[in-house]
Amino acid sequence: MRLGLNQSVRLDQRLVQSPQMIQAMKILQLGALDLQERVDQELVENPMLEEEGNEPPEEGAPEAPASTATSEAEKSLEVDAAAVDSMLDDLERIERDFSDGTRATAGDGDEGDRKLAALANAPSMPHTMAEALREELAFLDLGQRERAIAEFLIFSLDERGYLLQSVEELAHDWPRAFLNGDDEPHQEKNGQVDQEEATTAEAGLAADGDTDDTDDTDDTDENEEELGSKVSAAEISAVLLRLQGLIHPALGAHDLREALLLQIDHFEEPDPLLRAVVTDHLGDVQENRLPRIAKATGVTIEELKVALEHLRRLDPSPGGEYGGTTATVIVPDVIVEYIDSEYIVRLDRERAPRLQLSSTYRRLLESAKKGDVEQVWLKQRLESARWFMDAVAQRQSTLERIARIIFTRQLPFLEKGLDALQPLRMQEVADEVRVHISTVSRAVSSKYAQTPRGIFPLKFFFSGGLTKGTGEVKSQISIQELIKKLVAAEDPGRPFSDEGLAKLLLETHNIRIARRTVTKYRKMLSIPSSSVRKTF
């Protein structure tokens, strides 16, 4: 086979996505908060772009009287200062009333120092479970070695407060984790200890004069040797017991059963029935097999129900109350209002980006010499700003058209609620807007609509459906809502099975649905099975 080079001419058509097209698709996919963040970033990076109303006044324009402007500014500052003073006074009062005596006070200083001290000493809210538990260590009288073991335990817990390793495994991992610095929290702690020791050492030098550096080094080496030496499982267990006594009796449990038993052991009066239920019949409790448990333990159903009431008060996640929670902020892009007997669909005008080209930099571009580096750079910024403004405008236009079609189809939902939600597919909306289905998918992604019925993600309004005997099509979500209502109205002593729910939907709503479909919808709604829902 011979190899050679040759030239040929070929004519073909290909769609190549330009950077501007990619930018437009990304902007279309952004939600309200992400879009605002993207706009702010572009305003910082591109001086040719600015918000409407932020343009500086042109030369020769009348200016406001200086005295008026000054007085208004001073008035604003006075109001702000009063608000700050009030806030600091409140912080100082809280500090005085609830201080445990361990924080520094500034009663001998002037007014400004007192308020600053109150603000500085105000406790901050922990962000994670580990941070919160580290603060709790301040209440334990621990030696340096015990404190290091306690921190090692804290950072070995999962988000529920469980230990995923045995104390023997933790003891085996201790030297490697501590000496090699594999555990990042230990590095942070060591850094804090080193800084505190350095401050103490400086104070000691100032008070006592010269000291023997060799002795200090030897002491430090001995401390490091003591901390880094091996620990036994008994040492870890002893520190864990201290933590359980202070923080939570089930902290450091290895599973749910152990967590419940540790809490039962802390009851003022022993409860042998509850202990037997948790030890031998926890699976039966989860499946609601009360007659089997009553027969095995030799008690009545009523006595067992009393014990289970005590069980429900126990905490399955001992570290849950210390874990930080992140609030999800939802900002609707689409607003649906009922005005003058009709529903109006619009975008949120207050959050709609209002951008314009900077006249100042456009004048600089016009005055720049053609071909200069400055002129080329400004021209590129101008083109980038125009592309960005067009992409934002296109996003707003596409989203508004899609939203109007969605709520035109979902008018019964706006009037009657979830029971009347109509089946709707993205392809139907794409055909009506005359865009590709991927454009509709990007447009509704991460977007929310504020309606008279509540705030919903736009994707919520897209679902398949089932055909009733009359030919009417019901959406999957409306059928799920019917199942939820039927379960809520059932007799707790005789709950409906999935087969019974399917028959009931056919008899009462003329909806023919398979039992396995009812099971799928029930699980999607987090509704337990009939055997678990049954009460005795």
Query: Which of residues 462, 484, 516 is at a domain's end?
Result: 462
- What pTM was computed for the model? 0.59
Q: Of the ranges 6-20, 62-76, 107-121, 128-142, which one carries the lowest mean pLDDT score?
A: 62-76
Considering only residues 194 and 166, tell me which one the structure prediction assigns the higher pLDDT.
166
What CATH number corresponds to the domain at position 536?
A: 1.10.10.60
Question: In this structure, is residue 87 part of a structural domain?
Answer: no
Rounded CA-CA distance 18/22 in Å is: 6
Residue 407 scores a pLDDT above 90: yes
- 147, 236: one domain: yes
Name the residue with tokens 């930018």.
Answer: 23
- 444, 419: one domain: yes
Whole-Å CA distances, 301 to 74, 175, 292, 440 = 75, 52, 10, 56
| pLDDT band, very low/low/confident/very high, at 89 (cuts 50, 70, 90) | low
- 431, 306: one domain: no
Question: In this structure, is residue 501 part of a structural domain?
Answer: yes
- 404, 430: one domain: yes
Chain-centre distance of CA 3, in angstroms? 60
Question: In this structure, is residue 238 part of a structural domain?
Answer: yes
Nearest to 176 by CA among 231, 219, 221: 231
- 352, 379: one domain: yes
Question: In this structure, is residue 88 part of a structural domain?
Answer: no
Rounded CA-CA distance 167/234 in Å is: 8
How would you classify the pairing of strands 448-451 and 454-457?
A: antiparallel
- 456, 339: one domain: yes
With a CB cutoff of 8 Å and minimum separation 6, the contacts of 134 are 151, 154
Q: Of the ranges 4-13, 81-90, 464-473, which one carries the lowest mean pLDDT score?
A: 81-90
φ, ψ of residue 335 in degrees (nearest 5): -115, 130
The dihedral sign for the CA sequence 9, 12, 18, 22: negative
DSSP state of 453: T
pLDDT, one tens digit per residue, over 294-326 is 999 999 999 999 999 999 999 998 887 776 555
- 335, 427: one domain: yes
- 514, 482: one domain: yes
Longest dimension (CA), the chain: 99
pLDDT, one tens digit per residue, over 185-240 is 443 444 444 444 434 334 443 444 444 444 444 444 445 455 556 788 898 899 89
- 494, 377: one domain: no
- 403, 445: one domain: yes
Average pLDDT over all residues of the chain: 77
Query: Which of residues 296, 322, 348 is at a domain's end?
Result: 322
φ, ψ of residue 139 in degrees (nearest 5): -90, 0
With a CB cutoff of 8 Å and minimum separation 6, the contacts of 232 are 171
* CB contact at 8 A, 450 and 432: no
Rounded CA-CA distance 203/162 in Å is: 42
Query: Which of residues 462, 490, 515 is at a domain's end?
Result: 462
Its domain, for residue 164, covers: 129-206+217-246
Joined tokens for residue 474: 């019901």
- 269, 155: one domain: no
pLDDT at position 159, please?
85
Question: In this structure, is residue 189 part of a structural domain?
Answer: yes
Please tell me the total count of domains within the chain: 4
Question: In this structure, is residue 488 part of a structural domain?
Answer: yes
- 139, 234: one domain: yes
Work out the angle between the directed axes of helices 290-297 and 272-280 (0-180°, nearest 10): 120
Question: In this structure, is residue 80 part of a structural domain?
Answer: no
Joined tokens for residue 416: 């009657």
pLDDT at position 54, please?
62
Rounded CA-CA distance 429/408 in Å is: 11
pLDDT at position 247, please?
85
Count H helices and E strands in the chain, helices first: 24, 8
Question: In this structure, is residue 405 part of a structural domain?
Answer: yes
